[in-house]
Structure 1
Amino acid sequence: MLAPSQAVAPVVDRPPPPPLLASNSLFLDFDGTLVELAERPDGVIVGADLLALLDRLMTALDGRLAIVSGRSIRQLDALLGPAAAAITLAGSHGAERRTPTEGYVAADGAASLHDVAQRFEAFAEAHPGVIVEVKSHGVALHYRLAPEREPAALGLAARIAADAGLILQHGKMMAEARVAGDKGAALAALMQLPGFAGSTPFFCGDDVTDEDGFIAARALGGGGILIGDPRDTAASWRLPGVAALHRWLTTSLSELL
């Protein structure tokens, strides 16, 4: 039994968020937030009902909606289809973005990413179940289908990221070597644009990669909404999962329209 000084402090849960207001802006992570996590990155399906929900939110918030994802914009375009053209997107953890007013803006790509991808692919070939995801500004190593490979995968990713001078990004059953950038900086940059400026931001996300977004939203007078189980977080509110987020967004729309 632990002594009082050794006791682990319990995680403090967060309440559900209040409904969106017309003065809010909405920033949404993608995997694990807007859509359920899939065993493979290419296994995600975006249904017509979700696309319709996003379209209605765009109208209700006068365009102040953005998807801020670890996926590249090219990947988001493929998943969202024609609807992506009207939505503000920040991809690759904020290293690239595309808005209706600015067009496409990106950080310099790292020449070392090709070598990173080759080394990750060699590891995946030797360890069945490990999947490599090549993005515009990073390469991710997924071990969801081979959880026993976690120590080896994380060790390899750390070494390769250090060798290449890249950021090592941990996520849910994955590690990514990527170009510098964070979701909080992406939110802050988008909040300076005429369409978003002066609004109060809500940032919704499920992973540790979303913590920077929660912090940035709170600094601008809003807050973060954690999607998933309780944990230590900078988010102000929590919803238990993707379906709960969809219900909250639908309820908010009834207040907004």
Structure 2
Amino acid sequence: MPSVTTLPAPPALPDLMAAGPIALFVDFDGTLVEIASGPDAIVVPDTLTARLHDLRNRMVGRLALVSGRALDDLEKHIGSCEIARAGSHGASCLMADGSRLGTEPEPLPADAIHALRDFAQSHDLTYEAKQHGGALHYRARPDLGEAALAFARQIAAQHGLVVKTGKAVAELVHPGADKAGAVRAFMAEAPFAGATPIFIGDDVTDEDGFAAAIEFSGFGIAVGDRQSEAARYRLDSVTAVHHWLDL
């Protein structure tokens, strides 16, 4: 698997837009805001939401935020917005006007939630409750990463769930909850349909989004220094993403 450090920087966004309609799908943590010690410790610039609305206007509505966070948690950090968005790794999708795209997914089984909470409490880890999933964060205890992943996989097997892994996190979701599904759902709807999709993300869960963009003759842009199977280009950092998007 190639390191993204060997990938070139993407062409300038105005140049890509000049060649035809573009649709942007952008991850949140590690892409638009810096990764923090915990999910509630992120620092979101006061003007970010307004700048994203400006980007949406420049994209003629073809902008979607695609986050691992639940949509209510995303709103807690950026406020209400009129931007298409997908939360819980693509399980829950809203159009820019707030209308739902697809059906509302089910929450995790109560027994699975209780098991994750108990494990986190007894191992000094952070449990993040989500509308359609639940996550064990071990950034503060990297020595417990393997144990957290093993436990998450055990609970997933018991309840017919899937484990999503990321930067010091193991998350349980229902099968089919991935960022590829979000891209496909949005690309079937106006104003996204017919555009060339570009997916920007920093984590392994964004690989699904990259792959879906390729299905529609688009591409992925990996952020930071990591390995990537599907990205075509790379941006160094959150700051570089903001610069490329002219935020």
Does the 8 A contact of 2:116 with 2:136 survive in 1? yes
Cα deviation, 1:77-101, whole Å, max 9, x if unaligned, reads: 111113x2x0101111111111135
Are 1:243 and 2:236 an aligned pair?
Answer: no
Q: Match of 1:217?
A: 213
Counterpart of 2:170 (choices 156, 175, 186) is 175
Does the 8 A contact of 1:230 with 1:238 survive in 2? no
d(CA) in 1 for partners of 2:45 and 2:219? 28
State the 1:234 CA deviation. 0.3
Are 1:136 and 2:131 an aligned pair?
Answer: yes
The change in CA–CA distance for 1:10 and 1:118 in structure 2 (over 3 A counts) is closer
Q: Match of 1:151?
A: 146
d(CA) in 2 for partners of 1:229 and 1:88? 28
Cα deviation, 1:218-250, whole Å, max 9, x if unaligned, reads: 121110000010423201100011111111111
State the 1:157 CA deviation. 0.5
Superposed, 1:25-44 pairs within 5 Å as 25-44=23-42
Does the 8 A contact of 2:23 with 2:62 survive in 1? yes
- TM-score, with normalisation over the residues of structure 2? 0.91
d(CA) in 2 for partners of 1:11 and 1:19? 22
Report the AA paired with residue 162 of structure 1. Answer: A
| Structure ID, larger Rg | 1
Superposed, 1:107-146 pairs within 5 Å as 107-110=104-107, 112=109, 114-128=110-124, 130-146=125-141
Cα deviation, 1:95-128, whole Å, max 9, x if unaligned, reads: 111113571243431451x222211121122122
d(CA) in 2 for partners of 1:48 and 1:125? 33
d(CA) in 2 for partners of 1:188 and 1:10? 26
Superposed, 1:12-23 pairs within 5 Å as 13-20=6-13, 21-22=16-17, 23=21
Does the 8 A contact of 2:25 with 2:63 survive in 1? yes
d(CA) in 2 for partners of 1:97 and 1:126? 34
The change in CA–CA distance for 1:248 and 1:108 in structure 2 (over 3 A counts) is closer
Does the 8 A contact of 2:127 with 2:137 survive in 1? yes
- Structure 1 unmatched ranges of 5 or more: 1-8
Counterpart of 1:206 (choices 190, 199, 202) is 202
d(CA) in 2 for partners of 1:160 and 1:10? 32
Two-structure CA RMSD over aligned residues (Å): 1.7
Does the 8 A contact of 1:37 with 1:44 survive in 2? yes
- TM-score, with normalisation over the residues of structure 1? 0.88
d(CA) in 2 for partners of 1:111 and 1:31? 23
Q: Match of 1:196?
A: 192
Report the AA paired with residue 76 of structure 1. Answer: L
SS in 2 for 1:42: coil
Q: Match of 2:86?
A: 90
Matched-pair identity in %: 45
The count of aligned residue pairs is 239
Does the 8 A contact of 1:29 with 1:210 survive in 2? yes
The change in CA–CA distance for 1:218 and 1:81 in structure 2 (over 3 A counts) is same
SS in 2 for 1:226: strand
SS in 2 for 1:116: helix
